[in-house]
C-alpha cells in the first residue's frame, strides 16, 4: 500500500538542509509530493526568493526522493491537497512546530529537526558581504597577491 507524504517550502538556493529534510521525509513513506512556494505566495510570507519559482520547482523535482512538485499558492491549500492527493503524512521542519497541528484531523503530522548551521538567509548574507567589498579593497588585495607571486618566483 503506497504511503504518500507531502511537505511544503520555498527551497530557495537549494542547500544541504533542504536535501537532508527531503531525504528524511522520504523514510516515512514511498511517494513524496512537495509544494514549492510560488514567488507570489512568498511575497505573502514576507520572503523574496533569489531563485525564481520555475527554477526552484525544477531543482526540487530533480531530487531522487521527490515524486511530484505542485505550486504552493496559499496557506489554505494544504487541507485540499491532503484530501485530493490522498496524503497519509504531512512532514515539515520543526521551525514550524505546532503551526500545522490542525491537519491532524486528516493526516499524521510530523515535525523534523532542522539542519543546524545552514539556511538560505545565511547564504544570502554571505553573498551580500562579498558584494559589499569595495573596489579599492579588491585592488589592494590583488596587489598583495601579485607581490606575493613575484616574491615566490
Footprint on this chain of ligand C2G (rule: CB under 6 A): 8-12, 17-18, 21, 37, 47, 72, 92-93, 95, 114-115, 118-119
> Choosing from 3, 23, 47, 68, which is the catalytic residue?
47
CB 13 within 8 A of CB 51: yes
> Choosing from 3, 45, 97, 99, which is the catalytic residue?
45
Nearer to ligand C2G, 99 or 134 (CB): 99
Nearer to ligand C2G, 67 or 114 (CB): 114
Rounded CA-CA distance 150/153 in Å is 5
Nearer to ligand C2G, 11 or 26 (CB): 11
Q: How far is the CB of 68 from ligand C2G (least distance, A)?
A: 16
Q: How far is the CB of 126 from ligand C2G (least distance, A)?
A: 14
CB 36 within 8 A of CB 10: yes
CB 115 within 8 A of CB 19: no
Q: How far is the CB of 63 from ligand C2G (least distance, A)?
A: 12
Examine the residue annotation and report whether 47 is marked as an active-site residue of this protein.
Answer: yes
| Catalytic residue ranges | 45, 47
Amino acid at each position: 500500500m503506497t504511503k504518500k507524504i507531502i511537505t511544503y517550502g520555498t527551497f530557495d538556493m537549494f542547500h544541504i538542509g533542504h536535501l537532508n529534510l527531503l531525504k528524511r521525509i522520504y523514510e516515512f513513506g514511498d511517494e513524496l509530493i512537495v509544494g514549492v512556494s510560488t514567488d507570489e505566495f512568498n511575497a505573502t510570507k514576507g520572503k523574496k526568493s533569489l531563485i525564481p519559482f520555475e527554477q526552484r520547482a525544477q531543482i526540487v523535482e530533480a531530487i531522487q526522493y521527490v515524486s511530484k512538485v505542485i505550486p504552493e499558492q496559499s496557506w489554505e491549500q494544504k487541507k485540499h491537497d491532503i484530501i485530493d492527493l490522498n496524503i497519509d503524512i504531512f512532514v515539515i521542519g520543526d521551525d514550524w512546530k505546532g503551526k500545522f497541528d490542525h491537519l491532524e484531523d486528516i493526516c499524521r503530522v510530523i515535525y523534523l529537526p532542522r539542519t543546524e548551521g545552514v539556511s538560505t538567509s545565511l547564504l544570502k548574507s554571505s553573498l551580500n558581504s562579498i558584494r559589499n567589498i569595495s573596489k579599492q579593497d579588491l585592488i589592494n588585495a590583488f596587489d598583495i597577491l601579485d607581490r606575493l607571486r613575484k616574491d615566490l618566483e
